[in-house]
Each structure stands twice: as structure tokens, then as C-alpha cells.
Structure 1
Amino acid sequence: MADAAAPEDRPELGVAMAVRRSSRTLWRRLVMVAIGLAALPVVLTILYTVVPPISLPMLGRYLTGQAVDRRWTPIENIAPVARFSVMASEDGQFCRHWGVDFGAIADVLERGGEKGPSRGASTIAMQTVKNLYLWPLPTFARKPLEVPLAVWTDLVWSKKRVLEVYLNVAEWGDGIYGIEAAAQHYFKKPASRLNAREAAQLAVVLPNPIRRSAGSPTRRLRNLAGLIVNRARNSSGYFDCVR
């Protein structure tokens, strides 16, 4: 019986084996990249417990040479009424959930059907991880990642830290990031001196800071700000975790 031909005697077999080896190498590299990308937010969240983070939108502007106005300020230097107004507007159950308000998600899914959860189901922790790690992704790919990252962030950080980071990375206008920069830009005062009306006007522009202006609010935004003033005043007992 004739010996089996060696790979070098059958060129097509050698090519097939080389392709398989290349495919396995490529897949191993892709898996390693995927593991690294998945681990990066986990590691950065730990680092950001003490280091002021930079959001992906800010980084994108820096890399493209666009202006960025961000002035990191500790939460102790942000007026309590500003903290309460943002929570009242964006996440009324902030002190009561673990980063994700599953009840709100269920309500939005029930009302929205196949459209999926909207910003109405996004907590402050979810919006924070979106800005820090997930900003370029489309909604359908981003939302499933926001939930575990928000729970992880809420576990690693204190509630004060979650709110502090959010207030310092949120966008309040074209190139305006953080509540200190916003307070100085719109009201010519530090965030520590914001009053209830000014804080509410800042809070209601967060869903669309490019089309809405805290300094020149429309009648509709002024009405919304009035509601937030009352809500923040009457709900301050729910926000004891950030006093």
C-alpha cells in the first residue's frame, strides 16, 4: 500500500492547512481583543473611583481639535438644589435602586412596544456609563451593555460619586461639559451658587443640550423648569444619599 502523500507533495493540502492556521490565529486575536474591550470599562470604573474621568464625547472633541469647556468640581462645591433638580428631572429613584430602575424599563417597554426603552428608562448611572464607555454605539447595541455596567458602577462607586461624575461629564451645550462650566457659561456664577430656578433650567436641557438652552429657555422649558423646582423641593427627602 502506497504511503500517504506528504503535504509538500500536495500543494492544495498545504494551502488549506495554512488557511486553517491563519483562521485560528485570527480568531484567537479577535477573542483577546473582545476580552480586552470588555475588561476595560470594568478596570476604568475602579480607577475612576479616585481619578476624574473624561467622557468619550469630550475625547472625541479633543482629538478633532474642537473646543471643550469642562471644569471638574467636587460634589461638595455643587449647590444641593442643583443636585436635587438633576435627580428630580433625570432619575427620581436614584437613591432607591442599584443603578438600574427595572420598573421604569418595564413601563417604557410596555408603552413603547417594539421600539424598546428610551431615555425615560435611563438612570443617571446608565447615562454616566454611556458617556464614559459606550457613546459611539447605536442604541440597539448600547442598551444591553448599559445595564450590567450601570449595576457594576453603582456597586463600586458611592451614590455621591455616581452623581458627582455625571454632573461633571454631562453635556450642557456645544462643547460645554459639566455643571461648573454650564453655570459659568449661562449664569456667570459657580455651581455652588446656583439657585432653584437656575438649577431647574439646567436640569431640563439635559435630554437635548444642543437644541435646548438653559440661558434662553423657551416657554415650554420654563414651564418644565417650574415643575422641577416644585418636584425638587417636595422630593428632597428621597435624595438623602447625596446630601
Structure 2
Amino acid sequence: MTAPIASHRRRSRWIIIPIKILFGFIALSLLMVAIYRFVPPPVTLTMLFDPNGITKDWTSLDAIDPDMARAAIAGEDGKFCSHHGFDVDAIAKAAIHNASGGRIRGGSTISQQTAKNVFLWQGGGFVRKGLEAWFTVLIEAMWGKQRIMEVYLNVAETGIGTYGVQAGAVRYFHHGAGKLSKAEAGRIAAVLPLPKKRAAVAPSGFTRRYGNTITARIGVVQRDGLDSCLR
């Protein structure tokens, strides 16, 4: 009888340990999201592993020119105020486009990008995408749109070793994010997808055209109330 009992205990242990790890992860992630609802994330994995150093300056959403958030919506996530973390149409279109070859296109929302930037690492893979989805659900439920946008505009990489629109504005235009013009906001938003390869000062080619397009869309975002959740 002793051997079967010991074997049963070993099997039970192998079941209990993963369950404990899972519940520990859930508890820790809930705690981190709850803390960052009120406290600025001090550093991210992307920042820690950036060989170019870290230049950042946390700035509240109220102190950032509203056109910067509108530019982010125009360039990154037109349905930011209407979805619950995921834009199914954008994800489907990106998948179809990527399957046909050519330049890879992402379908991530601002909420997904914020979840990745704050809690995870850069790069792909099913594990990271799954964790990204989990944290996206959490911040949508616990933060709300204004906090998500505020954190996004403070942790997004805006240049080499530069994080957040405040540091980006100072780097490129020599003034704070509270004084951004529509054109300047559009240029910073154009840099966001590839901050290590694009610059907001004297942009050329695609970056210039994309920045101009975003600048033109800022008025549309405001007129159509696509930023209504931030007002």
C-alpha cells in the first residue's frame, strides 16, 4: 500500500505545483496592474536592455498637448475609444496582408502595445502574444482609456534611447510635449512604429509622407470624436 500512496502523492505534487505557479502569476499580474493604475512604471524591460541608455520624463496626460494623443490614434489605432483592447478587423487585415508577403504589418491596438511595453518584452512568439492579450484585458478593465493613453505616451520609444513624448519633444523640437504643434505631433507619431530607424527632425521619404498624413488626420480624429474617451 505504501508504494501506491507515494506514487499518488508524487502525481498530486506535479498537479499542485503548476496550479500554484498559475495562481501566483495571476495574483502578481493583478497586483502590478493595480499599482501602475496610480504609479508611473519606473522602468520597462525594453528600457533595461536598451544599450543606448534611457532618456525619459514622465508627464501627465493633462500636460501633453491633446493633438499628441489624437496623432497616436490617427497613426496607430483609429478605434481606440470604441474597442475593448482588440481591433478584430485590423488583426484580420494584418494577417491577410502578411500572408501575401511584402512589408509586415501589425494589427496591435494602443492597448496591446501598452501592455507589451510595460509588462513584457519586444519580439514575437505565441507565449508573448498570449501574455500580451492577458495584460491587455487587465489594463482595459482596471485602468480605463485615459490611463492607457497616458502610460502609452510615456513609455513608447520615440527615438534611440528616448522614451515618451515629453523626452521625444525635447529631443526633436527643444520644447515640452505641452507645446506640440499638429505637425510636430504627427511627426512623433510617425516615428513610433520604428523609433530606431526614423527621426522626427527633417524626416524624408516614407516618414515625411506618413507624418503629413497623420497630421492631416488629427483634425478628423477631433471632428469625428475618435478621441472622445480622452476628453
- 2:191 is matched with 205
Structure 2 residue 159 is matched with structure 1 residue 173: yes
| RMSD, aligned α-carbons | 2.8
Q: Does 1:138 align with 2:89?
A: no
State the Cα distance separating 1:69 from its structure 2 match: 0.8
Against the structure 1 CA distance between its residues 215 and 26, is the aligned structure 2 distance closer, same or farther, given a 3 Å change threshold? farther
- Which letter maps to 1:128? T
> Helix, strand or coil for the counterpart of 1:172?
strand
TM-score (norm: length of structure 1):
0.81
Q: 1:192 to 1:227 in 2, by over 3 A?
A: same
Moved more, 201-210 or 137-146: 137-146
Which of the numbers 60, 77, 84 marks the counterpart of 1:91?
77
2:92 maps to 1:103: no
Number of residue pairs matched by the alignment: 226
- Structure 2 unaligned regions, length at least 5: none
Q: CA deviation at 1:38?
A: 3.9
Q: CA deviation at 1:134?
A: 2.1
- Partners of 2:156 and 2:201 lie apart in 1 by 17
Segment of structure 1 superposing worse, 41-50 or 181-190: 41-50
How many percent identity over aligned positions? Answer: 36
Using the TM superposition, name which of 51-60 and 193-202 deviates more: 51-60
Q: Which one has a bigger Cα radius of gyration?
A: 1
Q: Over residues 5-33 of structure 1, what are the superposed CA-to-partner deviations in whole Å (9 max), with x where a residue is unaligned?
A: x99xxxxx8xxx69x97786576445433
1:131 counterpart SS class: helix
Opposite residue 228 of structure 1, the aligned amino acid is I
CA shift for structure 1 position 188: 0.5
1:58 equivalent in structure 2: 47
Q: Residues of 2 paired with 1:56 and 1:38: CA distance?
A: 19
The TM-score normalised by the length of structure 2 is: 0.85
Amino acid at match of 2:35: L
